[in-house]
């Protein structure tokens, strides 16, 4: 079966750094996406990785290791507005997205 695992909830302090992990087992791999979803709102795109390595975009970075079936999203200089759920999704061999349940990130002052 296809499976995406990520922690249910994480807590971090404003100004700090947090790493959200995602492991996956899917039928085929055509890229990994990270989305941010604030409570009661729609998911919005953060990053896309298809090759191994780190992609940096401002305060957010995303890493991929295809051989390990592993990715992480790194958020630096945390702000209160970063409190949200972070969704990991893998595009499978049929070019359909398989979604993790999301990691709820709580930022404390």
Site residues, other proteins (CB under 8 A) = 4, 30-31, 33, 41-45, 48, 50, 87, 89, 91, 95-102
> Which residue, 53 or 109, is less far from other proteins as judged by CB?
53
CA separation, residue 27 to residues 30, 61, 73, 108 (Å):
10, 25, 22, 38
8 A C-beta contact, residue 20 and residue 6:
yes
The smaller minimum CB distance to other proteins, of residues 78 and 89, is found at 89
- C-beta closer to other proteins: residue 1 or 109: 1
Task: Give 16's DSSP letter.
Answer: S
Q: What is the DSSP string of 68-99?
A: TTEEEEEE-S--GGG-EEEEEEEE-TTS-EEE
CB 91 to other proteins: min, Å: 6
Question: Please, what is the minimum distance in Å from the beta carbon of residue 16 to other proteins?
Answer: 27
The residue (of 16 and 50) whose beta carbon lies closer to other proteins is 50
């Amino acid at each position: 079966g296809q499976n995406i695992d990520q922690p249910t909830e994480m807590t971090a302090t404003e100004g700090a750094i947090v790493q959200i992990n995602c492991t996956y087992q899917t039928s085929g791999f055509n890229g990994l996406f990270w989305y941010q979803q604030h409570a009661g709102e729609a998911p919005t795109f953060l990053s896309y990785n298809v090759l191994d390595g780190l992609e940096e975009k401002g305060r957010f970075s995303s890493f991929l290791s295809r051989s390990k079936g592993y990715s992480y999203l790194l958020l630096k200089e945390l702000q209160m507005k970063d409190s949200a759920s972070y969704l990991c999704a893998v595009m499978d061999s049929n070019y359909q997205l398989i979604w993790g349940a999301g990691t709820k990130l709580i930022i404390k002052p």
